[in-house]
Structure 1
Amino acid sequence: MRRDGDPQDAAAELPEPPAAAREVFGDRLPDAIRYAGLLADVGVGRGLIGPREVPRLWERHLLNCAVLSEVVPEQVTVCDVGSGAGLPGIPLALVRPDLRITLLEPLLRRTNFLNEVVELLGLEEQVTVVRGRAEEVMNTFVPVHVVTARAVAPLDRLAGWGIPLLRPYGEMLALKGDTAEQELKGARAALAKLGVVRSSVLHVGAGLVHPLSTVVRAEVGESPGGVRFAAKRAKAARRGARSGRRSS
């Protein structure tokens, strides 16, 4: 009898990569196939992805995340908040070797999986795995140009975690679903308090994914996280500098 959720059964249901995968991943398609295989096998076995997601792993997960690269600037640093099984961070790393990506994830079983994936795919020089919650590391985290997230939390709560990790004039790119416009409308006041100066809903992946991937973009000014957080971070930096002088 077939056991629902058996990783071997789930892995057997992994389809061949669609034609769009070659266009999106290019020379890194073999690595994308290895990653898909891990998700369908080890990922299911460890509860990182549901077995019912395996048949639609390429279209709904890997390609859906990889096309986010269309709106990520060149040569920037990225933090993937709540990375989970590595979505969107790992597909983004495969299609954009110019990026330096941190996968931020609080759960040990997930960070163990992410470290295994990074090593298997030879991404050690490009991708760093950090275990922790955004709200725990934000005072010491080196700010990045771009924060990404997918299926982590409602936009107002996600922004409270992700926006403070940004450099001045950075941006958060959150993969969302059909209710993105409504969610953004409801979160605009909270975003403004966090220093967001522009926000919009984008659709990416034309000709590659159907439906298109929906992205909420939130761009910050010179005070990511808001004025209060900027002052708090500056105070922490001064305290660290004084401590360093005393120890030298």
Structure 2
Amino acid sequence: MASEDEVPPELRTLVNDPLNGSALLQDYFSDAYPRVSAFAELLADQGVLRGLIGPRELTRVWERHILNSAAVVPFLGEGTIVDVGSGAGLPGLVIGAMMPERRVVLVEPMERRTAWLFHAAEECGIDNVVVVRGRAEEVRESVEADVITARAVASIDKLVKWCLPLLSDGGSMALLKGRSAPDELERAKYVLRRANLVGEVHEASTIEGVEPTTVVTLERDSR
């Protein structure tokens, strides 16, 4: 983690993020904007110090982290959402802020990060989230998901192996991935076949001028 001397207070802010204050953001997030904006500000202020984001990301918090996380929301179906390896709360806290009517479970094994998740949820008024400490394979007795999501946690084949026991009958997964998603999906084909899952790659757009996010959905094969 960085020390306070390495990240001066004047840099721990969204003021240098070109998207900050944009009317496009306010229109996109609508009623959720106050909660999402509060989380973005908190992440900028404390994220580097807590080892959640890198110093160079302070000018791209909205695009790289908040909008990237928000892009998964249209793929989340119904029921309880479980964010595996929630870390900084990306995408889990963004989802919770945008979907206050849904139950969102944040699964995270590191104690200092679970402390952050509790703190951020309380500070930003995101009161529909539950934080569970542990790895996905360790919480199968206490956590059941209708939808599982994850960002920058592991490859698709590993995520399926770890997370399948948490998934309800008829449940699905929506994973935030990079440009290599099609290749990753191909490498996972045997694991997906055994799990009776079918994968699809989507380009998910958010606001004008921001590059689409790659989302991989995994659905039960009904054939």
CA distance in 2 between counterparts of 1:145 and 1:221 reads 15
| 1:110-157, Cα deviation, whole Å (9 max, x unpaired) | 000000011112223x1000110011112x033211000000011111
Q: Residues 45 and 92 (structure 1 numbering): CA distance in 2 closer, same or farther, change over 3 Å?
A: same
Q: How much does 1:179 deviate?
A: 0.5
1:123 alignment partner, one of 111, 126, 149: 126
What is the DSSP-based 3-state SS (H/G/I as helix, E as strand, rest coil) of the residue aligned with 1:142? Answer: coil
Q: Does 1:54 align with 2:55?
A: no
Residues 129-140 of structure 1 aligned to structure 2 (within 5 Å) = 129-138=131-140, 140=141
Residues 151-230 of structure 1 aligned to structure 2 (within 5 Å) = 151-196=152-197, 198-205=198-205, 207-208=207-208, 210-220=210-220
Aligned length: 216
Task: State which drifts further: 187-196 or 173-182.
Answer: 187-196
CA distance in 1 between counterparts of 2:208 and 2:73 reads 13
Aligned match of 1:10: 11
TM norm structure 2: 0.89
CA distance in 2 between counterparts of 1:192 and 1:64 reads 29
- 2:67 and 2:206 in contact (8 A); partners too: no
Residues 15-34 of structure 1 aligned to structure 2 (within 5 Å) = 15=17, 16-34=20-38
TM norm structure 1: 0.81
Aligned match of 2:72: 68
What is the DSSP-based 3-state SS (H/G/I as helix, E as strand, rest coil) of the residue aligned with 2:188? Answer: helix
Q: How much does 1:9 deviate?
A: 4.5
Runs of 4+ in 1 over 4 A off after TM superposition: 206-209
Q: Tell me which of the two structures has the higher relative contact order, counting C-alpha pairs closer than 8 angstroms and 6 or more residues apart.
A: 2
Aligned match of 1:142: 143
Q: How much does 1:159 deviate?
A: 1.4
What amino acid is aligned across from residue 97 of structure 1 in structure 2?
A: P
CA distance in 1 between counterparts of 2:174 and 2:159 reads 11
| 1:149-204, Cα deviation, whole Å (9 max, x unpaired) | 000011111111122211011111110010011110111111222232x2110111
- 1:62 and 1:91 in contact (8 A); partners too: yes
CA distance in 2 between counterparts of 1:162 and 1:4 reads 40
What is the DSSP-based 3-state SS (H/G/I as helix, E as strand, rest coil) of the residue aligned with 1:48? Answer: coil
Q: Does 1:109 align with 2:115?
A: no
Q: How much does 1:209 deviate?
A: 6.0
Task: Report sequence identity in percent.
Answer: 42
- 1:64 and 1:209 in contact (8 A); partners too: no
Instruction: Note the residue ranges of structure 1 that are not aligned, 5 or more in a row.
Output: 223-248
Q: Residues 33 and 11 (structure 1 numbering): CA distance in 2 closer, same or farther, change over 3 Å?
A: same
What is the DSSP-based 3-state SS (H/G/I as helix, E as strand, rest coil) of the residue aligned with 1:44? Answer: coil
Higher helix residue share = 1
Q: How much does 1:13 deviate?
A: 5.4
